[in-house]
C-alpha cells in the first residue's frame, strides 16, 4: 500500500488532501493505516443504575470500547465469542462497507453467527466519516450490552473550533434481560401483560440513578461532564436504544448541529434535538453561562415507546470552577412526539441531488401487523414478515451456488444494475406506531416524510434533500394515524443489504427485507470465502451439539 498514491496530497494524516468539500461517496483517502482491535463478548453481571442484572458485554464494559479511526484507514476487528450459549456478530452501523459486504455483520444475511468459543476477524475500510456505533446484530443482543461507539475522524466543514470532543451514548434500560421480555412482546393477548413493553429507565454513557437524587433507596450514580467556562465542546450523540426516542438538551445552553448520522450538514442552532433509534447527531456547545451545575437531559418520548422513568434520563454538566452538585436548572421546552428534526434543517454540506423519477426503480412497502402462528404478533411488509435462517445466510448461498435462500419469502428485492436510482415508499397510515428505518450499505436521500398516506400529490424534494442512514416514519401527535417515508439511493455497492426498522422488538418480529444489489458481481467482492465457510461450519457444529439450535426470531 502506497499512502496517498494518485491523490491530491501526500499526507495521510490530513486525509491525502481531501477536504469536506469532496464527495465522500466518490473519494476515499488511501492512508494505508491499519487500526487493530480485539473484542471479547462475555456474560457478566452489571448494575449501571445500581440495580444488578445479567448482561452481555464486550471486554467487560458497557458501552463497549470505542473503535476510533481516520477516514480511509483500514480497521481490523478480531471478535471472540466467549458467551455461554449465544451466537454473535458485530455490525458497523451506518458504515457503507463499500465492496466489503462480507463484513457487514448480519446473521442470516452476510454470515453465520460466530459460535461460542469461536472467533472471526472483520477487515474493512472507514469509507465515511463522523459519529456512529457498532453493535451485535444477533437477536436482541445489542440491547443486552453488546454495543459501543464508532468514531471516524474526518475533515472539518465548520469555521468554529472546539477544545474537546465528547461521545454521549444514550440508551434505554431494563432490570431484566430484554430477551426475557420478548415472548410477552410478541404474544397476542391482553395488555399490559402482552404486546408493547415498558422499559424501566435510561442511561447516559452507561450510568444513571434509579430513584430521585437524595431520596432514600435511590441507587446508582449520574454520569458527569466537567467543562471550562467559555470553551466550546463537540458532542457526538448516539441513540442506541431498543425502543426509545429521546429529546436531548442541556439546560440553559444552545446546540449547534453540524452532522446528522455520517453526513456533515450546514450548521443550525436549536435548544434541543429529537433522536430516534440508531440516529446520531454531532453538535457544538459553548459553555457560556454562569458557572454552576446544569442538567443534561434525554427525555424519552412516551408516544414512541413506554418508559417508567422517562424524564429521569439525565447527567450532570459541571463547570470546573464550582463544586459538583445536583443541578436546579430549568429544562428547555419542546414539542413531544415521534418525528425527526425538520427536513429543512438537515441540509447536507456537500450538495447532491436525487435522481428524477424517470431514472428510478420503485418499491412500495406497506407496513402491517398480523397475528402469526401460534398467536404471535409479526410486523409485515406487503403482507409478509421477514424470516431468515442463521445457518443459511444469503451471501454464503450466493457465493457457493448463486442462489437466494427462499426462507425470507418475497422479502428479497433484486436490483440488478449499478448506477440506478431506487425509490422506496414505506407507509403505514392506519397504525399509529413510528418506525425508524435503517438501510445498510448506503446513505439514503429523504425525499418525503409525513403523517397519513402517501400518494402522487405529495411533493418530493429532489434538490439536495437530507441524507442519512436512519429516518423515522412519523405518526400523528395523538397516535391516531401513522405516516409515510420516501427514500432514494443510487446503486453503487454490490451486496446483500438489510433494510429494517431499528426498534429491536420490531426487527425481531420480522420488520425487515433484504436488497440484492448487482447480484452478478456480488461474489467477486468477497475476499475470504474460506472465512465465511469456516464460520458457518463452526456454527453448524455448535447447533447440532446443542439440540439443533434453530433461528428463534426473524434471524436478523
- The domain ranges of the chain are 34-155, 164-345, 359-525
According to CATH, what is the number of the domain 164-345?
2.60.40.420
Name the CATH superfamily for 359-525.
Cupredoxins -  blue copper proteins (2.60.40.420)
pLDDT of residue 375: 54
Q: Is 86 exposed, middle or buried (0-12, 13-18, 19+ CB in 10 A)?
A: buried
pLDDT of residue 364: 66
| Banded model confidence at residue 552, pLDDT cuts 50, 70, 90 | confident
Identical fold, 164-345 and 359-525: yes
Name the CATH superfamily for 34-155.
Cupredoxins -  blue copper proteins (2.60.40.420)
pTM above 0.95, yes or no: yes
DSSP 16: G
Tell me the CB-side half-sphere exposure of residue 428, using CA atoms within 13 A: 25
Quote the strand ranges of 157-291, DSSP E.
Answer: 164-173, 201-204, 209-210, 219-220, 224-227, 232-239, 246-250, 255-260, 263-270, 272-275, 280-286
User: pLDDT per residue over 68-105, tens digit each?
Assistant: 999 999 999 999 999 999 999 999 999 999 999 999 99
In the structure grid, which three cell numbers stand for residue 294, read together?
A: 446544569
Lowest mean pLDDT, pick from 38-42, 115-119, 371-375, 439-443: 371-375
| Banded model confidence at residue 373, pLDDT cuts 50, 70, 90 | very low
Instruction: Check pLDDT > 60 for residue 360.
Output: no
Residues of the chain above pLDDT 90, percent:
86
pLDDT of residue 384: 82
Tell me the CB-side half-sphere exposure of residue 305, using CA atoms within 13 A: 31
| Beta pairing partners, 59 | none
Give me the sign of the Cα torsion angle 115, 118, 123, 129. Answer: positive
Q: With both helix axes pointing from N to C terminus, report the angle between 529-545 and 394-401 in degrees, rounded to the nearest 10.
A: 120
What radius of gyration, in Å, describes the C-alpha atoms of the chain?
22
pLDDT of residue 549: 81
Paired sense of beta strands 91-92 and 130-135, if any: antiparallel
Give me the sign of the Cα torsion angle 44, 47, 53, 58. Answer: negative
φ/ψ of residue 534, rounded to 5: -65, -40
Amino acid at each position: 500500500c502506497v499512502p496517498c498514491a494518485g491523490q491530491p496530497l501526500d499526507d495521510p494524516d490530513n486525509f491525502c488532501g481531501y477536504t469536506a468539500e469532496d464527495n465522500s461517496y466518490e473519494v476515499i483517502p488511501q492512508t494505508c493505516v491499519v487500526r487493530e482491535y480485539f473484542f471479547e463478548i462475555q456474560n457478566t453481571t452489571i448494575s449501571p443504575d445500581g440495580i444488578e442484572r445479567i448482561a452481555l458485554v464486550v471486554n467487560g464494559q458497557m458501552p463497549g470500547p470505542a473503535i476510533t479511526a481516520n477516514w480511509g484507514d483500514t480497521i481490523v476487528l478480531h471478535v471472540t465469542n466467549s458467551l455461554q450459549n449465544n451466537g454473535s456478530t458485530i455490525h458497523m452501523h451506518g458504515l457503507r462497507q463499500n465492496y466489503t459486504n462480507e463484513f457487514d455483520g448480519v446473521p442470516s444475511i452476510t454470515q453465520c453467527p460466530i459460535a461460542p468459543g469461536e472467533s472471526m476477524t472483520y477487515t474493512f475500510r472507514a469509507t465515511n466519516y463522523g459519529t456512529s456505533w457498532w453493535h451485535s446484530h444477533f437477536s436482541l443482543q445489542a440491547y443486552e450490552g453488546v454495543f459501543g461507539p464508532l468514531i471516524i475522524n474526518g475533515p472539518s466543514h465548520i469555521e468554529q473550533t472546539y477544545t474537546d470532543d465528547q461521545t454521549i451514548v444514550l440508551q434505554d434500560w431494563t432490570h431484566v434481560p430484554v430477551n426475557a421480555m420478548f415472548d410477552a412482546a410478541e404474544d397476542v393477548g391482553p395488555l399490559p401483560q402482552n404486546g408493547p413493553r415498558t422499559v424501566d429507565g435510561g442511561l447516559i454513557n452507561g450510568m444513571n440513578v434509579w430513584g430521585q437524587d437524595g431520596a432514600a433507596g435511590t441507587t446508582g450514580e449520574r454520569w458527569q461532564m466537567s467543562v471550562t467556562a467559555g470553551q466550546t465542546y463537540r458532542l457526538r450523540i448516539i441513540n442506541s436504544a431498543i425502543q426509545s426516542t429521546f429529546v436531548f438538551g442541556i439546560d440553559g445552553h444552545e446546540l449547534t448541529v453540524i452532522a446528522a448520522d455520517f453526513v456533515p450538514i450546514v450548521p443550525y442552532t436549536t435548544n434541543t434535538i429529537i433522536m430516534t433509534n440508531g440516529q446520531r447527531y454531532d453538535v457544538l456547545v459553548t459553555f457560556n453561562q454562569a458557572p454552576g451545575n446544569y442538567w443534561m437531559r434525554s427525555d424519552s418520548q412516551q408516544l414512541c415507546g413506554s418508559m417508567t422513568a422517562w424524564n429521569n434520563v439525565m447527567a450532570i454538566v459541571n463547570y470546573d470552577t464550582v463544586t459538583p452538585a445536583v443541578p436546579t436548572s430549568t429544562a428547555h421546552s419542546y414539542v413531544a412526539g415521534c418525528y425527526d428534526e425538520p427536513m429543512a434543517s438537515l441540509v447536507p454540506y456537500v450538495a447532491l441531488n436525487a435522481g428524477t423519477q424517470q431514472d428510478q426503480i420503485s418499491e412500495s412497502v406497506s407496513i402491517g401487523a398480523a397475528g402469526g402462528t401460534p398467536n404471535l404478533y409479526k410486523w409485515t411488509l406487503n403482507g409478509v414478515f421477514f424470516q431468515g435462517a442463521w445457518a443459511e445466510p444469503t451471501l454464503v448461498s450466493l457465493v457457493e451456488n448463486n442462489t437466494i435462500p427462499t426462507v425470507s419469502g418475497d422479502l428479497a428485492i433484486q436490483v440488478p444494475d449499478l448506477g440506478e436510482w431506487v425509490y422506496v415508499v414505506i407507509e403505514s397510515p392506519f397504525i399509529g406506531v413510528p418506525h425508524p428505518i435503517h438501510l445498510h450499505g448506503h446513505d439514503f436521500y429523504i425525499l418525503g416524510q409525513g403523517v397519513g398516506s402517501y400518494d402522487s400529490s405529495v411533493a418530493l424534494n429532489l434538490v439536495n434533500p437530507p441524507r442519512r442512514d436512519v429516518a423515522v416514519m412519523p405518526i400523528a401527535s395523538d397516535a391516531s394515524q401513522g405516516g409515510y417515508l420516501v427514500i432514494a439511493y443510487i446503486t453503487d455497492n454490490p451486496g446483500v443489504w438489510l433494510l429494517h426498522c431499528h426498534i429491536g422488538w420490531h426487527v425481531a418480529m420480522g420488520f425487515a427485507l433484504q436488497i440484492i444489489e448487482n447480484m452478478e458481481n456480488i461474489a467477486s467482492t468477497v475476499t475470504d470465502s474460506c472465512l465465511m465457510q469456516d464460520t458457518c461450519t463452526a456454527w453448524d457444529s455448535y447447533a447440532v451439539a446443542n439440540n439443533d439450535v434453530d433461528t428463534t426470531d426473524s434471524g436478523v
